[in-house]
Amino acid sequence: MRSSDSPDRVDILHRAAPLHDIGKIGIPDSILLKPGALTTAEFDVMKTHTLIGARMLANGRSELVRVAELIARGHHEHWDGQGYPDGLKADAIPLDARIVAVADFFDALTHDRPYRAAWTREDTVAAISLRGGNHFDPDVTAAFIALNPATIPMASVA
């Protein structure tokens, strides 16, 4: 975060971040809980959770809900422009979404899923490091790694 960011801004991000996947409520359980790899068509449906979530949070009156909307829509955008739903690139991706993207990736990979076992923290941090500058904002990646994620209690990550 920049020095001009206030503690209130950090608090808003902390409170808005858990809503990043709210749009998954609109994804069928047959896709969400599928034990194997998704087909291209299933993955296309899964990708709509970003748009569903953004629509659910649209027109929020509070800054918290407006930030949550940006995060819900943008947390799968990639620094190199290869993400979804809008193919945004670099600084066009809202900073809050870039931060949550790294935290979400860490959380997702370090927990068991129906389709794969959890990765170790070390392997996950290595994967994040390798993706800095293409998938993830390189500055956000460096800041995350500087936190030494191996020492962060799991309940604090996502």
Number of independent structural domains in the chain: 1
Residue 131 domain flag: yes
**pTM of the full structure:** 0.89
Residue 31 domain-assigned?
yes
Q: Please give the distance of CA 32 from its chain centroid, rounded to a whole number.
A: 16
Check if the beta carbon of residue 46 is closer than 8 Å to that of residue 38: yes
Q: Which domain holds residue 61?
A: 7-157
- What would the pLDDT profile of 53-110 be if each residue is shown by its tens digit? 999 999 999 999 999 999 999 999 999 999 999 999 999 999 999 999 999 999 999 9
Q: Is residue 27 part of a domain?
A: yes
Closest of 24, 27, 12 to residue 100, by C-alpha: 12
Q: Supply the CATH number for residue 123's domain.
A: 1.10.3210.10
Question: Per residue in 97-155, pLDDT tens?
Answer: 999 999 999 999 999 988 889 999 989 999 999 999 999 999 999 999 998 766 666 65
Which residues is 132 bridged to in the sheet?
136
Angstrom distance (rounded) from CA 69 to CA 66: 5
The secondary structure of residue 87, as a DSSP letter, is: -
Amino acid 134 reads: N
Does any domain span residue 57? yes
The answer to the question of residue 1 being in a domain is no
| C-alpha–C-alpha distance, residues 79 and 133, integer Å | 6
Given a contact cutoff of 8 angstroms between Cβ atoms, the answer to whether 50 and 20 are in contact is: no
Cβ atoms 70, 12 nearer than 8 A:
no
